[in-house]
Structure 1
Amino acid sequence: MATAGRSGIGTNQEDVRRHNLGTVLGHVHRAGRLSRAELTARMGLNRSTIAGLVTELESLGLAEQAKPSGARIGAGRPSVDVKARTGAYVLAVDLRVDGLTVARVGLGGVVQARATGPVPAGHDPETIASSVVELMRLVVKDVEPGSALVGVGVGVPGIIRAEDGLVRLAPNLGWRDVPFAKILAERIGTFAVPVLGNDADLGALAEHLRGAGVGVEDLVYLSGEVGVGAGVIVSGHKLEGAGGYAGEIGHMPYVPQGKLCHCGARGCWETEIGASAIALAIGCPAERVGALGEYLEAVHEAPEDLRLVGRHLGRGLAGMVNMLNPRVIVLGGYLRSLFPLVHDDVESELAVHALIAPRELVRVTLPGLSGDSVLHGAAELAFEPLLADPVGRLAEACLDVDAALAV
């Protein structure tokens, strides 16, 4: 009995140590650089414990100590800084209806390399997975020896079953119950089973941690690509819903018996503010929707049809303000280029349809991460296992990813 008790205590202490190790790494990863004094204050641990955890992270190649970068505060020696090392990295994938981006991202959120390419015609999942792997080969070709791949994260414009990466529905890709995580894993090996997330959810995560929503506990990221979705952060936590499918705001019924949506219903909000509606308003040919951002950049004064899109956007945002009471709404995707052109129309609809009290608290803004919100969110998703257990995840990491991808 006594032996079992001692064993339980030992296991407990080990669990606590690993938890603290991951927590320190998480703080450094998100900030990029922190002093040991700041880590001590954030975690409520004593200085010697923090010093020991930092030393262990150094031995794992995940962090390094450096001379203080900030001004000295108070008496005594200035605290040593702790920086993330970028030898551990993830592969982040932003899969859109009209394009692919793959990036190699190091600890601290540093994009080390990226590659872009078209989405194969027809949106066949097997062909898309092959294209993703080709881009992966490009971004790892100059990886430094000894670097460790610790995860793969993929943003998909659809409803994802989190436990196995099954894409339940991605109407703009024409996918229904597609096991994309499994398909991609078969091409990159079991050394880094991909984790899939909804693109809007990942955009919200990234903007909350690194972009326009840093320090904001209630945030909505509206992803406006070919379709429209929302990632929602409430009290600092992702709004998931019973099955993890919350946020499909683009399929909110908006116009009774309106235009036919890709999802099969009529009158969804995205039929009025999505890429097809924007393209029609500015004369962008349907086959050139992939270049819609460029078309929008060339518009200097919004025509009336585009202003109507802006009013539809503002009216829908008013509903979100009334329902969710966010502090910040971030407009991503094509909405990022649309908003400056129709700002007044959006604001006028918000003024009419949003309740005064929540309207006074909200700020509508553009992404702090520009067009990379989803990409950074996919990277954060892939880093989660490392931040939860640095020792365990490194033991599973792939050190020769180039050879693995060559299979």
Structure 2
Amino acid sequence: MNARETLAGSPDVRRTNLAVLLRHLHLDGPMRRAELTERLGLTRSTVAGLVGELGRLGVVEQSTTGAPAVPASRGRPSPVVRPCPLGVQVLAAEVRIDQVEVALVGLGGTVLRRDSRPLPDRGPEAAADLLAETVAELVATAPGRVLGLGVAVPGVTRHDDGAVRFAPNLSWRDVALGELLASRLPGTRVQVVNDGDAGALAEHLRGVARGCADVVFVEGEVGVGSGVIIDGRPLAGAGGYAGELGHMAVAGPAGRLCRCGSHGCWETEIGRHAVARALGLDLGASRAALVEALHAPGPEVTARLDRVARHLGAGLATVVNVFNPRLIVLGGLLREVYPRVSTRVQRALLDGALAAPAEQVRVVLPELGDDAVLLGAAETVWQRVLLDPVGALAS
């Protein structure tokens, strides 16, 4: 046995190699064992042993069929290793202003089941009840072991204990959502995150920003959520509160009153109410009605959205100057707005951004669509599991 194989066989290094191998499969999908051997830089026998151990844990399987095509070669084809979404799952939930959505997500990011329910009462206790009820029903149908629950919330969240410090569009302040859910779901590990952070993580790992180290995700709905990835890592800040771009002051003290108590916040100029106002719709118009109006033919729609476009571009210019991202991903309702006004947005962005960072950035739409936040909530749980699959599955 050579030195490299001896090292790879030590307990700590072996657990690390198991984690790395499983992460490749979780994010990249099925691949031949020979490719895994090349990616990990280990011997074939070592990789075969790692795959076997993960197979015994019920998280991967292997066969000689169904792999990506490879050039013909002599000898037996390398077995295909694939994640087992039916073996282990996590739960993901997204709390929106008017509904909650919960999904059962298998290894590899496969959404196995989902359930969306209206949220008539925005009170924290009522929301926790609704989430717990929906989660319990999905857990009862889960085909494998459920490893935890990730919950994305449109508000400022504290990472260490799942407290929601402030969610203005839900009228929540200092809500111990993690504790509320844990008390209703005994034995379930709960992780609460900001919705923008979740969207950024999902698009970075699985979507349009895959492989891009510097990304800003901006989701415009009733408010504006955002998340920032810098040098491949989420930007959290001292307490987990970084990246609240929706509350940048873009219109000054004379701007509209925001639910946070300030005037002229970015979300008052590009959020759902601003879009409804621009289109001449009632401020309480449904998202479906707004999307229909945004898709209406004719140049008058673009003209009506000029103020929204100018403020969107000006805010993005600040984002470019501060973070110097490669990609800005526009999700939520902004995914519908941007195609109508992209030229005006780009002009305002270039007017306000410094030339050097502006030359490096692209504004794009999310590859994961409206599922970005939900899948990001799932990934917050998967990231813990992928750090130490043996420990997570043995606990």
Measured in 1, the distance between the counterparts of 2:297 and 2:141 equals: 41
Alignment partner, residue 56 of structure 1: 53
Measured in 2, the distance between the counterparts of 1:156 and 1:380 equals: 15
Q: Secondary structure at the match of 1:17?
A: helix
Residue 164 (structure 2) pairs with residue 167 (structure 1) = yes
Offset from partner CA, 1:190-213 (integer Å, 9 cap, x none):
x21210111111101000111000
2:28 maps to a residue whose letter is A
Alignment partner, residue 98 of structure 1: 98
* 1:346/1:353 CA distance change after superposition, 3 Å: same
Alignment partner, residue 223 of structure 1: 219
Q: Within 5 Å, give how 1:201-216 maps onto structure 2.
A: 201-216=197-212
Measured in 1, the distance between the counterparts of 2:251 and 2:287 equals: 26
Q: Is the 8 A contact 2:276 2:290 kept in 1?
A: no
Q: Is the 8 A contact 1:226 1:275 kept in 2?
A: yes
Give the gaps of 5 or more residues in structure 1: 1-8, 397-407
Q: Within 5 Å, give how 1:3-402 maps onto structure 2.
A: 13-67=10-64, 68-72=67-71, 76-86=75-85, 87-121=87-121, 123-144=122-143, 147-189=144-186, 191-257=187-253, 258-291=255-288, 293-301=290-298, 302-396=301-395
Deviation at 1:342, TM superposition (A): 1.1
Deviation at 1:359, TM superposition (A): 1.9
Measured in 2, the distance between the counterparts of 1:34 and 1:197 equals: 31
Measured in 2, the distance between the counterparts of 1:345 and 1:297 equals: 15
Deviation at 1:389, TM superposition (A): 1.9
Q: Secondary structure at the match of 2:359?
A: helix
Superposed CA RMSD: 2.0
TM-score, scaled relative to structure 1: 0.89
Deviation at 1:303, TM superposition (A): 4.9
Measured in 1, the distance between the counterparts of 2:46 and 2:80 equals: 15
Q: Is the 8 A contact 1:154 1:197 kept in 2?
A: yes
* 1:292/1:265 CA distance change after superposition, 3 Å: farther
1:117 maps to a residue whose letter is R
Deviation at 1:236, TM superposition (A): 0.8
Aligned length: 383
Measured in 2, the distance between the counterparts of 1:293 and 1:208 equals: 28
- The higher-RCO structure (CA 8 Å, 6+ apart) is 1
* 1:213/1:335 CA distance change after superposition, 3 Å: same
Measured in 2, the distance between the counterparts of 1:351 and 1:52 equals: 54
Q: Secondary structure at the match of 2:379?
A: helix
Measured in 2, the distance between the counterparts of 1:247 and 1:262 equals: 18
Measured in 1, the distance between the counterparts of 2:45 and 2:206 equals: 29
Give the gaps of 5 or more residues in structure 2: 1-5
Offset from partner CA, 1:298-319 (integer Å, 9 cap, x none):
4334253322101110111111
1:309 maps to a residue whose letter is V
Q: Is the 8 A contact 2:89 2:147 kept in 1?
A: yes
TM-score, scaled relative to structure 2: 0.92
Measured in 2, the distance between the counterparts of 1:236 and 1:43 equals: 20
Hey, which bits of structure 1, 4+ residues long, moved more than 6 A?
none
Q: Is the 8 A contact 1:102 1:136 kept in 2?
A: yes
Measured in 2, the distance between the counterparts of 1:319 and 1:66 equals: 51
Deviation at 1:60, TM superposition (A): 0.8
Measured in 2, the distance between the counterparts of 1:318 and 1:230 equals: 15
Deviation at 1:35, TM superposition (A): 2.0
* 1:200/1:100 CA distance change after superposition, 3 Å: same
* 1:83/1:293 CA distance change after superposition, 3 Å: farther
Q: Secondary structure at the match of 2:305?
A: helix
Measured in 1, the distance between the counterparts of 2:60 and 2:226 equals: 34
Measured in 2, the distance between the counterparts of 1:316 and 1:218 equals: 18
1:81 maps to a residue whose letter is V
Deviation at 1:292, TM superposition (A): 5.2
Measured in 1, the distance between the counterparts of 2:150 and 2:203 equals: 16
Offset from partner CA, 1:224-247 (integer Å, 9 cap, x none):
121112211111111112222110
Q: Secondary structure at the match of 1:70?
A: coil
